[in-house]
Amino acid sequence: MQPFTEVTGVVAAMDRANVDTDQIIPKQFLKRIERSGFGQYLFFDWRFNEDGTPNPAFELNLARNKNAAILLARRNFGSGSSREHAVWAIDDYGIRSVIAPSFADIFYNNCFKNGTLPIQLTEDQVDELFRRAGAHEHYILTVDLEKCTVTDSQGFLASFVVEPFRRHCLLNGLDDISLTLEHEKKITEFELAHPALT
């Protein structure tokens, strides 16, 4: 898993509440067995018209949001089913952090397990970010996980809270497998001392 320390990038402002996982990654694309390659299907039903051409009105298709690294959304982002593919698609697309007033619990947990930082700010702070994003052609934010801050170059500053263990894992790029492998020596010693029964 890629470590997350600090990200500075373009903000894609998605002024929508209750964005569910079936919109983030529609069910017809869940047949892949790899974790990669899902970015091309992110928000597929919104990003593309029925004939397969890009929908020019969709937020991620706007020129101002090209190569967005941060997604700004409204409350209850990631609701719906528990599919981990939703975070895989967001990460594969290149978005490292999602900012919203609230998240669905399972989606929120899946973010940390896959290297994406979900940041919960107040409704007022999110409103201000939407205002600023609308006023700039390419709105840039810096998300600093070491300081737990979100800043821009015009004086915006907001602090956020991340549980210490999750923060440690993201800063060091540790997923569940990596955490287990940190104890590889002890696991090997145990296996040698307790051989399998034949």
Average pLDDT across each block of 10 residues of the chain; the chain has 198 residues. List them in order. 94 97 94 88 97 96 95 97 93 97 97 96 98 95 98 97 95 73 63 70
In a domain, 177, yes or no: yes
- Does a structural domain hold residue 24? yes
Q: Please count the structural domains in the chain.
A: 1
pTM for the structure as a whole: 0.89
> Quick check: is 198 in a domain?
no
Q: What is the CATH number of the domain that holds 112?
A: 3.20.19.10
* Any domain includes 35: yes
Percent of the chain with pLDDT over 70: 91
What is the domain extent for residue 142? Answer: 6-193
Q: Is 36 exposed, middle or buried (0-12, 13-18, 19+ CB in 10 A)?
A: exposed
3-state secondary structure the chain: CCCCCEEEEEEEECCCCCCEHHHHCCHHHCCCCCCCCCHHHCCHHHHECCCCCECCCCHHHCHHHCCCCEEECCCCECECCCCCHHHHHHHHHCCCEEEECCECHHHHHHHHHCCCEEEECCHHHHHHHHHHHHHCCCCEEEEECCCCEEECCCCCEEECCCCHHHHHHHHHCCCHHHHHHCCHHHHHHHHHHCCCCC
- Residue 31: what pLDDT? 85
User: What was the pLDDT predicted at 111?
Assistant: 96
